[in-house]
């Protein structure tokens, strides 16, 4: 099938590459000429395991092309995916200007029947607005070209996006057109040989499914973090409590790991967007508001542990930070707990020595660009030299079993403040480490 994908961010580039991988002819479109030039040269602007090899392979054989010309991409395309950003506005709502802008361009350039697919995460009712935007431009042109709008939300996990797309646990398709449903269903047939993973429904239910899924996962994270905070007060160990409740099949272990709070491009934005949608319809999403409030406060927990241990004034002190990205296997720094921590420590006079396998470029170039007394290291051990403590904020695999003997020699104090609960507290303390983690038993 011939496909156009508008937007070459995480969702657009992964979707385009994976569709091309199974033999579809895909044209990825972006207004950023520099990004398109980089992609044509094989320079992938984002870090996602497996993506670079796939893009290079598909581009080499001619199944994946890159262009800034939407009209050229649509010339022979049967399906056009909208996969542009929907950043959070000041009021918490999703900014649809990019989505609707693309919809208008589609209406301005389409010359034959096409299926328009919303792949971006968008509020309920967006498909109707996309339809209106396309139709408005067709009316201006005085032409009558049939088209359908489909909702096909993505459920990709950053760091595992390629695998998620190639072997999805479900594919949600929303449309009022049986013809469109059949076409998109067929497009995804290559990804579900073992059993049909496609779930068809109406457009608004598909749009709501995406928000409900992300908000449910965010709720589990904030719930276990609140339990961990209570554990610290009553003298319980949150890691042991997690094992106790996770063994219940109704609860499970997924997303109940205590930590420094969630971040990324999805959970913070989607929780706030659904809160705003509920308000627009006269409803207060009390659970959702609490989920967001708990997460906002959770990002302050690790800085508070540092201050409790080392005092209010951190002038002249050095702290090593392992992990900048909001999760492992990505270079994404959006809403990362490290941003809150590093800004707080440096505002108190501290110097921060940071290491992350993939996050330096994003941190140094944008998110922590103007932060004073922040330096970056190419080795996790080099970042430890002379530091008062090591603070762990991202659960990269290389942090799971480090050389603790070497760490003890490099650090000024044998102190670890663990924002992802990676190590066994009893073992660490038995080996002479002062070890603090999220949900540790406090003094009653």
> Which candidate in 18, 28, 231, 266 is catalytic?
266
Closest CA to 321 of 271, 262, 260, 263: 260
For residue 161, what are the contacts with CB-CB under 8 A and spacing of at least 6?
Answer: 10, 14, 48, 51
Strands 198-201 and 2-6: unpaired
Closest CA to 384 of 417, 345, 353: 353
Spatial separation of the C-alpha atoms in residues 235 and 252, rounded to whole Å: 24
231 is catalytic: no
Q: Which residues are catalytic?
A: 266
């Amino acid at each position: 099938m011939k496909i156009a994908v508008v937007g070459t961010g995480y969702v657009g580039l992964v979707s385009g590459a994976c569709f091309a991988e199974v033999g579809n002819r895909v044209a990825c479109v972006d207004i950023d000429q520099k990004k398109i030039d980089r992609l044509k040269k094989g320079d992938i602007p984002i870090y996602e395991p497996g993506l670079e090899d796939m893009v290079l392979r598909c581009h080499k054989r001619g199944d994946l092309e890159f262009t800034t010309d939407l009209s050229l991409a649509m010339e022979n395309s049967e399906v056009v995916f909208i996969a542009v950003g929907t950043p959070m506005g000041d009021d918490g709502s999703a900014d649809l200007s990019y989505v609707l802008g693309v919809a208008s361009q589609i209406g301005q350039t389409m010359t034959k029947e096409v299926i328009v697919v919303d792949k971006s995460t968008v509020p309920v009712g967006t498909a109707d607005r996309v339809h209106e935007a396309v139709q408005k431009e067709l009316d201006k042109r005085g032409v009558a070209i049939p088209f359908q709008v489909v909702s096909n939300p993505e459920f990709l996990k950053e760091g595992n996006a390629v695998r998620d797309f190639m072997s999805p646990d479900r594919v949600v398709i929303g449309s009022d057109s049986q013809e469109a449903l059949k076409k998109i269903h067929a497009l995804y047939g290559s990804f579900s040989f073992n059993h049909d993973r496609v779930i068809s429904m109406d457009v608004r239910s598909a749009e709501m499914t995406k928000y409900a899924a992300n908000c449910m996962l965010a709720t589990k994270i904030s719930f276990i973090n609140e339990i961990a905070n209570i554990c610290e007060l009553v003298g319980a160990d949150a890691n042991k409590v997690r094992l106790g409740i996770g063994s219940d099949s109704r609860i499970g272990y997924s997303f109940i790991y205590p930590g420094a709070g969630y971040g990324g491009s999805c959970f913070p934005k989607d929780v706030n967007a659904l809160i705003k949608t509920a308000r627009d319809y006269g409803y207060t999403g009390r659970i959702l508001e609490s989920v967001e409030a708990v997460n906002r406060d959770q990002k302050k927990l690790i800085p508070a542990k540092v201050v409790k241990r080392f005092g209010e004034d951190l002038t002249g002190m050095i702290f090593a930070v392992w992990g900048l990205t909001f999760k492992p296997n990505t270079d994404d720094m959006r809403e990362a707990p490290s941003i809150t921590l590093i800004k707080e420590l440096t505002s108190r006079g501290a110097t921060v020595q940071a290491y992350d396998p993939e996050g330096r470029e994003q941190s140094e170039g944008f998110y922590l660009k103007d932060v004073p007394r922040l330096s970056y290291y190419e080795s996790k051990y080099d970042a430890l030299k002379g530091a008062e403590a090591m603070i762990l904020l991202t659960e990269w695999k290389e942090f799971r079993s480090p050389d603790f003997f070497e760490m003890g020699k490099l650090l000024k104090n044998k102190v670890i403040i663990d924002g992802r609960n990676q190590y066994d507290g009893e073992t660490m303390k038995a080996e002479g480490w002062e070890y603090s983690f999220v949900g540790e038993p406090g003094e009653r």
